[in-house]
Amino acid sequence: MTVNISFDADKLKPNELLMLLLANKGTYLSGEDISKKFGITRSAVWKQINNLRNSGYIIKSSPRLGYCLNESPDLLLPEEIWSMCDLTILGSKIHYCSVTGSTNEDAKKLAQEGAPNGTLVIAEKQQKARGRMGRAWNSPDGGLWFSMILRPHLAPMEAPKLTIMTAVAVAEAITRTTGIDAKIKWPNDILIDGKKACGILTEMSAEMDAINHVIIGIGINVNIDDFPKELKDKGISLKQIKGEEVSRIQVLSALLERFEHYYVKAETEGFQEIFESWRSLCINLGQKVKIMGKNESFEGTTLDIDESGALLVKTEDGEVIRVFSGDVSLR
């Protein structure tokens, strides 16, 4: 029976021994030096080392040389993120769980309880995840499933632009870490070879003139070997493209850094540069498409996105329609 692990982590109160080992990965550190550094007995050091081993860390030990962290487990643990990322906003608080229903639902509860801007909710597996329009989202082990709690200094009408910004950060992170040519399909899908590798779900709580919080959920098919029958022709994973395992922690770290870069830029300078990056990555623009909304559908040619992030579509009779939501399929 698998034990579900869930805990909250604070960047100001990390596992200091683990952070030290990660900073010196592949190098021996003497038990005596470690005990002096932290003011604990060597027996206490040994006990903490064993706890880390039980968590999946491969740590060599030598009576003469001390301890050497050889390999980390394939888990998205807070210290792994902190040791790899240079962040000031995202990840100062992290809620980690091995299994949950939905990271977005968990994030909503934490946001309502006052979780600060940049809090991350990370799961190794989701059991009740959903995408846009309430659709189920396949979230097995091996993927990257997490949500961000944001409290942006933006007007509520600008919140949809955060989805566009997130798509740019995801596509850039995938390309930077794997070399895979990731593209964006409006409004929130990341495609590789025409198949979906990532989905983004943005949800907001706001007053008339102020945002309370925004939850951005991201699901990336990283090391997924197989998909349910109904998704085999639609979904793809980074591992399937590369033909080998991809480091989830590297993809996550690159994504968080790209997102924070754009987040700061959006709050201080606006979205213009972000929109330009999005245009260069989008596969929809200039294409004939079919737009399928909740109540109607129509065909046309995509022109651009406007300043609000809406998709501009020119119909066959010349009318330009602003599309704020819906499914887009290439014709």
Domains parsed from the chain with CATH numbers? 11-71 (1.10.10.10), 85-281 (3.30.930.10), 288-330 (2.30.30.100)
Check if the beta carbon of residue 304 is closer than 8 Å to that of residue 279. yes
The per-residue DSSP string of 54-118 comes to HTT-EEEEETTTEEEEEE--S---HHHHHHH---SSTTSEEEEEEEES-HHHHHHHHHHTTPPTT
> Is the separation of the CB atoms in 146 and 76 below 8 Å?
yes
Task: Give the pLDDT score at 214.
Answer: 97
CA neighbor of 195 nearest in space, from 267, 127, 279, 283: 283
Enter the DSSP assignment of 130.
Answer: B
Confidence (pLDDT) at 78 = 97
Q: Measured between alpha carbons, how far is 138 from 159 in angstroms, rounded to an integer?
A: 26
Q: Which parts of 113-184 fold into alpha helices (H)?
A: 161-178
Q: Quickly list DSSP for 174-223.
A: HHHHH----EEETTTEEEETTEEEEEEEEEEEE-SS-EEEEEEEEEE-SS
Q: Quick one: pLDDT at residue 1? A: 38
Looking at residue 132, its pLDDT comes to 52
Q: Can you give the pLDDT at residue 28? A: 97
Q: What pLDDT, on a 0 to 100 scale, did the predictor assign at position 145? A: 95
Phi, psi of 13 (to 5 degrees): -130, 60
Identify residue 259 by its one-letter amino acid code. F
Separation of alpha carbons 317 and 99, rounded Å: 51
Which pLDDT score, from 0 to 100, does residue 130 have?
60
Q: How confident is the chain (331 residues) per 10-residue block, as mean pLDDT?
A: 80 97 97 95 95 96 96 96 96 96 95 98 83 59 95 92 96 97 90 93 92 96 86 89 96 98 96 94 90 82 90 91 79 61
